[in-house]
Amino acid sequence: MAEATNGREAFEQLGRHCIDVALVDISMPGGDGFLFLELVRAAGVTVPVVMHSMNDGHVRRSRALGAAGFVVKGQEHKLVPAVRAVYSGGEFWDDTPGT
């Protein structure tokens, strides 16, 4: 397990740790989750990525950049099922705003 404070730092963690699934908050200072996803895909890294955001409008861009899943903030009970799904080679797309 590794933590990062921004997208670029998260990308650098991939070189230091064996990461099975990346759970990435889209809103991070100094390089957001989309930057992380762009760097991962440009480097040819195949780690499955679950994006996490308050903005359910980010689902389309997450898919386009190659994420394997998306969970809206406020729906944290869906994070474990999402990680399990993408770890197993599937996808998990939840764009239901939290209550």
Chain segment 21-80, per-residue pLDDT in tens: 999 999 988 889 999 999 999 999 999 999 999 988 899 999 999 999 999 999 999 999
Domain-embedded: residue 98: no
What CATH number should be reported for the domain holding residue 70? Answer: 3.40.50.2300
Give the domain range for residue 43: 7-93
Q: Is residue 99 part of a domain?
A: no
Contacts (Cβ under 8 Å, ≥6 apart) of 14? 22, 40, 45, 47
pLDDT of residue 15: 87
Is 36 contained in some domain?
Answer: yes
Average pLDDT score over residue span 83-90: 98
Determine, yes or no, domain membership for 50: yes
CA-only gyration radius of the chain, Å: 12
Question: Is residue 1 in a domain?
Answer: no
